Amino acid sequence: DIQMTQSPSSLTASVGDRVTITCRASQDIYKSLAWYQQKPGKAPKFLLYGASRLGSGVPSRISGSGSGTDYTLTISSLQPEDSATYHCQQYDITPYSFGQGTKLEI
């Protein structure tokens, strides 16, 4: 099974800051990586796929990059509504697996 490890587990930033969250896979996942945003009491919301391709309606200040085993999610110009937990997910090989989440506080 592919293990997904996110870092940091939590971080605090200010409005206007730029933050980066890292997701590392235990083996090459060939950019088969998605990111989700989850707010308390809500279902995860899809952000991007293919490591860097934004979903419909996702603001352009959110971006993703990476290849092989290492991937990043960057949020520039943080807004109060970005406060949430962010999850990565590999969909290269079953069983599909998620990272443990990164809690972002603004």
Partner 1 sequence: QLQLQESGPGLVKPSETLSLTCTVSGDSITTSESYWGWIRQPPGKDLEWIGSIYYSGETYYNPSLKRRVTISVDTSNNQFSLTLSSVTAADTAIYYCASGGIYNWFDPWGQGTLVTVSS
Q: What is the binding site for partner 1 (CB under 8 A)?
A: 1, 32, 34, 36, 42-46, 49, 55, 87, 89, 91, 94-101
| Tokens 């290492």, residue located | 70
Distance from C-alpha of 90 to C-alpha of 25, rounded to nearest angstrom: 8
Q: Compare residues 13 and 58 and give the one whose CB is closer to partner 1.
A: 58
Closest separation in Å from C-beta 12 to partner 1: 19
Taking the least distance from each CB to partner 1, the nearer of 43 and 60 is: 43
Closest CA to 14 of 75, 70, 99: 75
17/83 with CB nearer partner 1: 83
What gap in Å lies between CA 74 and CA 21, rounded to an integer? Answer: 6
Instruction: Show Cβ contacts of residue 59 under 8 Å, excluding neighbours closer than 6 positions.
Output: none
Residue type, 9: S
* CB 60, min distance to partner 1, A: 18
Minimum distance of partner 1 from residue 68's CB (angstroms): 18
